[in-house]
Chain A
Amino acid sequence: MISTLNTIMQIRGASGANRLLYYFGRLPLVGKLVNDSVYSRTSVKKTFTVVVLILKIIWGFLTKFAYLGLIVYLPVVLAAKELTLPEQYDLYLQVLVLLSFGVGTVSNAIILEPKRDKYICVKLMRLPADKYMHAVLTLRALTFFIYFVPAMMVFAHVYSAPLWQGLLLSLLLSLWRITGEALHLWIFDSREIVLVKKNGLVWSAIGVGYLLAFVPLYTGNALMDMDGVMFNLPLSVALVVLGALSALYIARYPGYRNAVDAVTKIDDPLLDMGRMMKEANRKQVETQEKDFTSNQLRPGQFADKTGYAYLNAIFFSRHRRFLIQPIQRRLLIIGALFAAGLLILLTAPDTFSKLVQYIMSTLPMLVIVMSFTSIGERVCKAMFFNCDLSLLRYGFYRERSAVLSNFRVRLLRISGLNLIPAAAICVVVNVLILLSGENWGMTDTLIFSGAILGLSLFFSVHHLFMYYIFQPYSTELNVKNPFFSIMNSIVLGVGIICMQFQSTPAHFAVTVLLASAAYVLIALFLVYRYSAKTFRVK
């Protein structure tokens, strides 16, 4: 078994070291030290393997401290700090028992866990399944115990309980979890059910367990004298016997090949988080065939358009899901808020006039409101993934005139769409203010509306400008260009700073209009000058 364990550790170590080297290589400045030849230099890699191992061990201890500290200890302190220390200790133990003995046993069993490591070792490297499982489970049981001991003892000390209680608790928990593993295996063996993959069950267990654990914190004392319950001879003996029997069952179990096969199907998304994220990202913006009726595919329906107008007309018509629906949803919300406003006007006129005064005094908030009202980012993602990603491979699509004419068509479309909710907001806010009888003249109405429409235009240009100049998406659709995030944060930051300024509506509106106009002009100029160079698949 030691040699199997050694092999597994080597495989894990090598892939861990490769990953570490890979991310190290992505760091600025020092990353230059790592080039591709590093992966084949065994001595460097050995060092990295050891580093990874040490990091893993430290991480193992730290996570137990973090778990006990943040998830168990902290809530108890926050909720019940006026209780005496022994009472708090009872609560602490109660939460720990419910989470670690209860929830963890259901959700965190490794015996039937789908895992890349398992796939690599058993399926690809052809390690015998029983040997692999024995080694992994032994390692797990031992490290589980060892990692828990210091944290358990420290927290026992915090509650002025004897240290041996921490040690005993670690041991009992480890034994109980072995019993849990055996139970999972037994259920699989007799019913062919992989418990950890029953998401409904696992999440229900987690939900119920956490509720049971944390709700009583606010209702007073622990239900039982927990340290009395946990630390007595009969329970300890019972858990030791159970644990030993379970270990025996696990050691003697003959069908590990099946148990491994059941959870290492190559297409199991749980085996590969990266791919899962990628697919989730893609689904968000992917064209779906069922989105189109055969009517929509009818030839000649855009016959009046040509070239980029034709392309974009089809694109926007086939991606209504990203365009029309969000706009409808926004209109619905605006309508609902308007109705609520009217209702308040009818039922509680005093509150209503206060509300209107509030709206008038917090006009700068509109920057944030409009940033959420404008569609753009997801549309750009959809454009990239469904359209530009493929067409940018063609020389004609990368030509300056093509990029610009495409940009023009898209900008008009997005601005047009964004103007709809913007206009709705103008109407709603102006009507509400007029109804309230506040002092709000024609000029105010115009200036305010201008500011809203200006902001709407600003955000329309903003999203598209960012897309064309920074082209932040990779084929996996995760944002790759750091400037994209930085610029976005700056714009949001400016919005938040705006909110701090107290000024008259007229001042605010004029400032907004001027700032948006300046931004739009600069953005359009930059797109005009540089987009042909920057708008590429990276």
Chain B
Amino acid sequence: MQLILDNIRKSFDDKSVLKGIDFTFEKGKIYGLLGRNGAGKTSLFNCLSGETRMDSGGAFLRRDEVSLPLREEEIGYVFSLPILPEFLTGYEFVKFYMDINRDKIQPGKTIGDYFDIIRFEEEDRHRLIKGYSHGMKNKIQMLCFIITRPPLILLDEPLTSFDVVVALEIKKLLREMKQDHIIIFSTHILQLAADLCDELVVLNNGVLQEIPADILHSPEFEERIIALLKDGGEHD
């Protein structure tokens, strides 16, 4: 399975943010999307998820030589600011979410099983989401894609809000899940990217560039990336 981005363009007013994104993402890999603040990482995710409309271009999923346009339900999107209906308890939200996506659930799994996967405390499950911490909300969002297992998973600046223990748990979880999914996560924390990702992609000047694998594990990785980002930044 592949995710093919074909010449995606997006501008806001007269500022063009995405200037023709062409890229192919492969199943079984975790991609780190690097970019400076304002480079358009969230815009790209929003375009892919259907949240905002792209000006031109398209995104396609290719399975066995057949490419079809990417559909909203094929995407799991974790927002950098977790957005959940706050009048529900975590348990109720997950139950609702499971009801809606009944056809996609692994048979035999219960709500309790899912909460256990993300190690969510028993007594917190029946509290209002309104009272949850940032990290707890993020976990619930992650649970959404654990439940429905969409082929494409987008994570916008995840892990930054987690404490070290939870971050490690989530990292393990992502690694366990990666063989069946295309996982892209945006970040500007280089260490995290180098640590977790199989491939690095840089969004700079409105286009995507792949970072060669040898740079990813070379000692001067950090300097090379920063040089790359700076270089592009000057053209803005």
Contact = CB atoms under 8 A, between A and B. Distances in A.
Interface of A: 35-37, 287, 289, 292, 297-299, 302, 306-308, 310-311, 314-315, 318-319, 386-387, 389-391, 393-396, 398-399, 402
B134 to A, nearest CB: 14
B117 interface: no
A287 B15 contact: no
Contacts of B14: 35-37
Contacts of B83: 389-390, 393
Interface stretch (B84-92, B197-205, B206-214, B216-224): B84-92
Given A299-B126, A311-B88, 5 more contacts: A287-B87, A306-B99, A310-B99, A395-B75, A396-B100
A387 B87 CA distance: 7
Interface string B67-85: 0000011010101000111
B86 A390 contact: yes
A298 B127 CA distance: 9
A371 B96 CA distance: 34
Given A315-B87, A318-B87, A399-B73, A297 B101 contact: no
Contacts of B77: 393-395
- Residue from B73, B85, B91 whose CB has the most chain A CB atoms within 10 Å: B85
17 contacts: A36-B15, A287-B86, A287-B87, A289-B130, A297-B127, A298-B126, A299-B89, A299-B91, A302-B92, A307-B96, A307-B100, A319-B87, A389-B83, A390-B86, A393-B83, A395-B49, A398-B72
B87 A386 contact: yes
B131 interface: yes
Contact of A292 (B72, B75, B128): B128
Nearest to A402: B100
A395 B86 CA distance: 18
B95 interface: yes
Interface string B93-127: 00110011100000000000000000000000111
Contacts of A386: 85-87
A184 B73 CA distance: 63
B99 A289 contact: no
B101 A396 contact: yes
A299 B72 CA distance: 31
A289 B50 CA distance: 33
Nearest to A311: B96
B85 A289 contact: no
Contacts of A387: 85, 87
- Listed from nearest, the 5 A-B pairs whose CB atoms lie closest are A395-B72, A307-B99, A306-B99, A287-B87, A390-B83
Contacts of A307: 96, 99-100
Nearest to B72: A395
Contacts of B92: 299, 302, 310, 314
Contacts of B85: 311, 386-387, 390-391
A244 B41 CA distance: 62
A311 B88 CA distance: 8
B159 to A, nearest CB: 20
B51 interface: yes
Contacts of B131: 289
A314 B94 CA distance: 13
Contacts of B50: 395, 398
A361 B202 CA distance: 75
A308 B101 CA distance: 12
B13 interface: yes
Contact of B89 (A297, A306, A395, A402): A297
B59 to A, nearest CB: 13
Nearest to B81: A393
B3 to A, nearest CB: 16
B96 A395 contact: no
A473 to B, nearest CB: 16
A310 B96 contact: yes
B46 to A, nearest CB: 10
Contacts of B51: 393
A289 B132 CA distance: 12
Contacts of B91: 299
Contacts of B101: 396
Contacts of A289: 128, 130-131
Contact of A396 (B13, B73, B86, B128): B73
Nearest to B129: A390
A310 B73 CA distance: 21
A299 B86 CA distance: 16
A299 B100 CA distance: 18
Nearest to B95: A310
Nearest to B128: A289
A314 B126 CA distance: 13
Contacts of B86: 287, 386, 390
Contacts of A319: 87
A314 B87 contact: yes
Contacts of A297: 89, 126-128
A395 B87 contact: no
A259 B125 CA distance: 48
A390 B84 contact: yes
A392 to B, nearest CB: 9
Interface string B3-15: 0000000000111
Nearest to A536: B51
Contacts of A298: 126
Nearest to A37: B14
Contact of B72 (A35, A314, A396): A396
A314 B96 CA distance: 10
A88 B152 CA distance: 80
B68 to A, nearest CB: 16
A315 B86 CA distance: 10
Contacts of B88: 311, 314
Nearest to A36: B13
- Residue from A298, A308, A396, A399 whose CB has the most chain B CB atoms within 10 Å: A396
B211 to A, nearest CB: 30
A288 to B, nearest CB: 9
A398 B77 CA distance: 14
A118 to B, nearest CB: 31
B75 A393 contact: no
A444 B50 CA distance: 54
A307 B101 CA distance: 9
A466 to B, nearest CB: 22
B49 to A, nearest CB: 6
A287 B131 CA distance: 12
Contacts of A308: 100
A282 to B, nearest CB: 12
B13 A35 contact: yes
A287 B130 contact: yes
A319 B101 CA distance: 26
Contacts of B96: 307, 310-311
